[in-house]
Structure 1
Amino acid sequence: MIVFRYLSRELLITLSAVSAVLLVIIMSGRFIKYLAQAAQGLLDPGVLFLIMGFRLPGFLQLILPLGLFLGILLAYGRLYLDSEMTVLSATGMSQSRLMAYTLAPTALVALLVAWLSMGLAPQGVAEVARILNEQDALTEFDTLVPGRFQTMKNGTRVTYTRELSEDRGELAGIFISEKRMSRQGDKERGITVLVAESGRQEIQPDGSRYLILENGYRYDGNPGQADYRAIQYDTYGVLLPKPEVSAEISEREAIPTRELFGSDKQRYQAELQWRLSIPLLAFVVALMAVPLSKVNPRQGRFLKLLPAILLYMAYLSLLIAARGALDKGKIPMQLGLWWVHGLFLAIGLLLLYWEPLRLKLAARRTVREVAHG
């Protein structure tokens, strides 16, 4: 029991450290992307941390199995390097017994991943979709930031306001530049520039919103050519486009797991098998990591780290590829993703029992040679 607690503590501490580092790296990259959208006026800066919080379960469900895999490699690799595993082996610690001890923290991680993949992650995706839909319902007027040039409509429109009232009802010092495109949208036909002293928002009965500009000028022409036309106006209306928020969220990811069980749709069944596969992934990678963590102290603890990571990447990549094929109906639903788990389960068992089997066969061969000698 003391050895079990010691091994579990070492494994869980390393798992937590590795998972924390991976989580920071992944969330930082995603946060920068959302931050760029907020800087362009596509997202309200106030919802950034809320979105990241709801995306956290989705990140963790994939990070934890990888953290478990690397945690076993690093924690047990250190024990081999410090000859602690040699001492444990001398007292009767076999690879099978070590694997049995590893299954307890692995089951804990698998249960946590199952809770995330089948419960929290779909709820989080649904909340993120709701927030992004609310952001998509905003207009350019709602996302304006005083003193900042903001790009809209795929870069064809730039808007600037010097001042903006607290209730976002009045603007002052307005500048709008928009490229005029052909009907096909593939050729630029010129540029229109609007400047105004003040402006306000006006909502039409059909729900469309206009920015009503007052006391300004409109300039139409082509850059580099002396054919500009200037028009002075007292009042001018500009239709406010809706921001195009990049969600990168599929509808089925937000469906509760209980609804997937009762569906006969191919894509929904593929999503269900994916959610069930992630907890199973934790057990299979643990089975592969235990024998791969065994290193010679002279070789260093990182000798098998790169091949092990490549093996994990092959496992996850094959799962993702099989999921895509299952979506398109190229793989029978009965076969699903289970053949991928079966393949790498066989690889894990081969890695786990290869060394004892090789030693047993060598011992028998030696006995036969001595008997015949």
Structure 2
Amino acid sequence: MLFESSLRRELARSFGAALVVMLTVVLTMLLVRTLGQASRGEVDPQALLLFLTLAVTGQLPIVLTVALMAAVVGTLARLYRDSEMVVWHTAGLGLTRFVPPVLRFAWPVWLAVAVLALLVGPWARQQTDELRQRYEQRNDLQRIAPGQFQESANGRRVLFVDRDAEAGHSGRHIFIFDHEPDGAYSIVTARAGELHADERGTHLTLHDGQRWRRSADARVWEGAAFERYTVRVADAPVAAVELRRRSAMPTWMLWASTDAALQAELAWRVGLVVCAVNLVLLALAATSAQPRLGRSGNLLFMLLAFVVYYNMLGVGQDWATRGRVSPWGFVAALHGGVALLTLAWLAWRELPRPRWRRARAEAPA
């Protein structure tokens, strides 16, 4: 059918353009944030591209939702602006006749949003957490770069090593400043040193150096020279503790749990999918010919509606986590209310205009 084919073709063009714009904006924001984290030592610079890919994957449900909503608004606004909507209405195609072709175009995007929100997104956040945790668990000597002063993981030690070519297991011109747990300070310098690992941890053996120490209640530094001195730079490896955020837990684990916080997270993920459906229907009902709003008035209204809708999802998740509301009760109230409002709006726009509205519209200016 000419009507459906032309509508779906224009929806596809609008969706592609909106998706490119949204991905560009999201990529730029995430790149700036990731570079900032890498400069602060929170992200491994060598895995920067992987971190960025996983971060974008976690934001794809929102990107696809906004791009699909913008495509519907842009297509209908163009039809109204060029008076093509009047032609379709004259041919007997009301606004509700646009619903089936739009739904047939949107359902693959909704399916992608569901897969990303329920399966891929949690997996991407889990991988990000594991990469970040492995990077933070490096020992102090692995943290430093040749010729640079580097703070240790606990913030109590500053190290400097001019490494040689022996795969980082030995070095020369070593400097260690240590703030001990009892409040004392110590400074150690050495000509050379090498690493040794055993069941007690990783130790750095220093050769031909000096050590100065000042206790917490004294003002005088005490120093001594040494030919051989050993300092522990990392504890013995322990079994990795699986630490997961709620947002990184698999959906099936949330479904099997009865914890209120986990059920709130599951309701939020399901809400993202329902939100994508409701926003498309709301875009159909809200887009109209309003010359006073300008060319982008409908789009601005829908972006505002998306922001309010998305923030309400976050508020509902927080309330459900705190036990103030039932997670699924809030989901039914919020999404059901938006769906009923949207359907009522569509039905109202299909009703014939009253006589007084027709007379005012036909009255001479």
**TMscore range, shorter length:** 0.7 to 0.9
Identify which range, 165-174 or 319-328, moves more after superposition: 165-174
Mapped to 2, the partners of 1:43 and 1:164 lie a distance apart of 25
Identify the residue that residue 355 of structure 2 maps to in structure 1: 363
- The letter for the 1-side match of 2:49 is F
TM-score by length of 2: 0.81
Mapped to 2, the partners of 1:33 and 1:201 lie a distance apart of 35
CA RMSD of aligned residues (A): 3.3
In the superposition, relative to structure 1, how do residues 94 and 192 fare at CA in structure 2: closer, same or farther (>3 Å)? farther
Deviation at 1:220, TM superposition (A): 5.3
Percent identity, aligned pairs only?
26
In the superposition, relative to structure 1, how do residues 101 and 196 fare at CA in structure 2: closer, same or farther (>3 Å)? same
Specify the SS of the correspondent of 1:304. Answer: helix
Mapped to 2, the partners of 1:44 and 1:157 lie a distance apart of 20
Matched residues, number: 350
In the superposition, relative to structure 1, how do residues 291 and 162 fare at CA in structure 2: closer, same or farther (>3 Å)? same
Identify the residue that residue 269 of structure 1 maps to in structure 2: 263
In the superposition, relative to structure 1, how do residues 164 and 59 fare at CA in structure 2: closer, same or farther (>3 Å)? farther
Specify the SS of the correspondent of 1:202. Answer: strand
Matched, 1:168 2:160: no
Identify the residue that residue 86 of structure 1 maps to in structure 2: 86
In the superposition, relative to structure 1, how do residues 75 and 239 fare at CA in structure 2: closer, same or farther (>3 Å)? farther
Mapped to 2, the partners of 1:332 and 1:278 lie a distance apart of 17
Superposed CA deviations along residues 210-243 of structure 1, whole A, max 9, x for unmatched, are: 3333333445579xxx95555443334444369x
Specify the SS of the correspondent of 1:165. Answer: coil
Specify the SS of the correspondent of 1:174. Answer: strand
Mapped to 2, the partners of 1:165 and 1:85 lie a distance apart of 73
Identify the residue that residue 280 of structure 1 maps to in structure 2: 274
Asked if structure 2 preserves the Cα contact closer than 8 Å seen for 1:73 and 1:289, the reply is yes
Deviation at 1:18, TM superposition (A): 2.7
Asked if structure 2 preserves the Cα contact closer than 8 Å seen for 1:215 and 1:235, the reply is yes
What is the correspondence of 1:291-306 to structure 2 with a 5 Å cutoff? 291-297=285-291, 299-306=293-300
Which gives a bigger RCO, structure 1 or 2 (Cα 8 Å, sep 6+)? 1
Mapped to 1, the partners of 2:228 and 2:41 lie a distance apart of 25
Structure 2, unaligned runs of 5 or more: 236-242, 360-365
In the superposition, relative to structure 1, how do residues 333 and 25 fare at CA in structure 2: closer, same or farther (>3 Å)? closer
Asked if structure 2 preserves the Cα contact closer than 8 Å seen for 1:80 and 1:294, the reply is yes
Asked if structure 2 preserves the Cα contact closer than 8 Å seen for 1:82 and 1:297, the reply is no
Mapped to 2, the partners of 1:113 and 1:308 lie a distance apart of 19
- The letter for the 2-side match of 1:172 is R
Mapped to 2, the partners of 1:361 and 1:152 lie a distance apart of 73
Asked if structure 1 preserves the Cα contact closer than 8 Å seen for 2:42 and 2:132, the reply is no
Specify the SS of the correspondent of 2:138. Answer: coil
In the superposition, relative to structure 1, how do residues 191 and 349 fare at CA in structure 2: closer, same or farther (>3 Å)? farther
Deviation at 1:178, TM superposition (A): 4.6
- The letter for the 1-side match of 2:354 is A
Matched, 1:212 2:195: no
Identify the residue that residue 193 of structure 2 maps to in structure 1: 199
Mapped to 2, the partners of 1:163 and 1:50 lie a distance apart of 28
Identify the residue that residue 125 of structure 1 maps to in structure 2: 125
What is the correspondence of 1:174-189 to structure 2 with a 5 Å cutoff? 174-179=174-179
Identify the residue that residue 99 of structure 2 maps to in structure 1: 99
Identify the residue that residue 331 of structure 2 maps to in structure 1: 337
Deviation at 1:284, TM superposition (A): 0.3
Deviation at 1:112, TM superposition (A): 0.6
Superposed CA deviations along residues 241-282 of structure 1, whole A, max 9, x for unmatched, are: 69xxxxxx8433333323333333322322222222211111
Identify the residue that residue 108 of structure 2 maps to in structure 1: 108
Mapped to 2, the partners of 1:176 and 1:7 lie a distance apart of 69
Structure 1, unaligned runs of 5 or more: 184-188, 243-248, 368-373
In the superposition, relative to structure 1, how do residues 112 and 227 fare at CA in structure 2: closer, same or farther (>3 Å)? same
Superposed CA deviations along residues 191-212 of structure 1, whole A, max 9, x for unmatched, are: 6544333232222423x32333
In the superposition, relative to structure 1, how do residues 230 and 105 fare at CA in structure 2: closer, same or farther (>3 Å)? farther
TM-score by length of 1: 0.79
